[in-house]
Chain A
Amino acid sequence: EPEVTQTPSHQVTQMGQEVILRCVPISNHLYFYWYRQILGQKVEFLVSFYNNEISEKSEIFDDQFSVERPDGSNFTLKIRSTKLEDSAMYFCASVLVARNEKLFFGSGTQLSVL
């Protein structure tokens, strides 16, 4: 089965530093998402992306966050100035055609902000 690929699997950074989390969605999928999961808690929606623009974002996705699809295959999440509370597992997901289809999740990037 095709997979969503995420790199790196782990990222450790100092508070205030910028991080970029990378994702390669499944090639023919059209909708892309970032979710995060603080340890032991629920999966929280951050942002959805379609047709090269953000289609929806949550309250968590403030001005410190941005997403980009720079080259037609990669889908990145940038956190400009990380805070301790940004420590979480970040999952990228993609959907084939319609928003109400099943989500294919990547394996995640564990971000630790020190």
Chain B
Amino acid sequence: GQQVMQIPQYQHVQEGEDFTTYCNSSTTLSNIQWYKQRPGGHPVFLIQLVKSGEVKKQKRLTFQFGEAKKNSSLHITATQTTDVGTYFCAGPDNYGQNFVFGPGTRLSVLP
């Protein structure tokens, strides 16, 4: 079946450092979504990417969809303590009906 993988599993950074998480799918994706889950919270939608090579920015967050539409990345510039949480990518399953979540990257930001 389809698999969505993410690396790294954990990332500890000093406040102000940059952070990147990478997402890879075993199959080509029609679109990809990113979610953030704060500790003890629920996943909250961040963004959806649809086009090959698409790049979107939200303040300090930059999202990219690969040319082959099999990988994606999330880059955070100058992390803040409010960025702490787990970042999940999610892609449609083989039927295109439901989203399969990657295992997530847990970000810790040290003040």
Contacts and interface: CB of A to CB of B under 8 A. Distances in A.
Are both chains from one complex? yes
Interface of A: 33, 35, 41-45, 48, 55-56, 91, 99-108
Nearest to B33: A102
B11 interface: no
A61 B31 CA distance: 25
A2 B8 CA distance: 33
B85 interface: no
10 contacts: A33-B98, A42-B101, A43-B43, A43-B104, A48-B97, A56-B98, A99-B92, A102-B48, A103-B43, A107-B42
B98 A42 contact: no
A42 B104 contact: yes
B42 A105 contact: yes
A104 B31 contact: no
Given A41-B103, A42-B88, A42-B102, A99 B43 contact: no
Given A43-B88, A108-B42, 14 more contacts: A35-B101, A43-B43, A45-B101, A48-B98, A99-B97, A99-B98, A100-B31, A100-B48, A102-B33, A102-B48, A103-B33, A103-B99, A105-B44, A106-B42
Contacts, number: 56
A35 B42 CA distance: 11
B100 A104 contact: no
Contacts of A99: 92, 96-98
A19 B71 CA distance: 39
B91 to A, nearest CB: 10
A5 B100 CA distance: 22
Nearest to B1: A59
Contact of B30 (A42, A100, A102, A106): A100
B15 interface: no
A43 B99 CA distance: 10
A91 B88 contact: no
B95 A103 contact: no
Contact of A56 (B35, B41, B97): B97
Nearest to A59: B1
Given A45-B98, A45-B99, A48-B97, A100 B45 contact: no
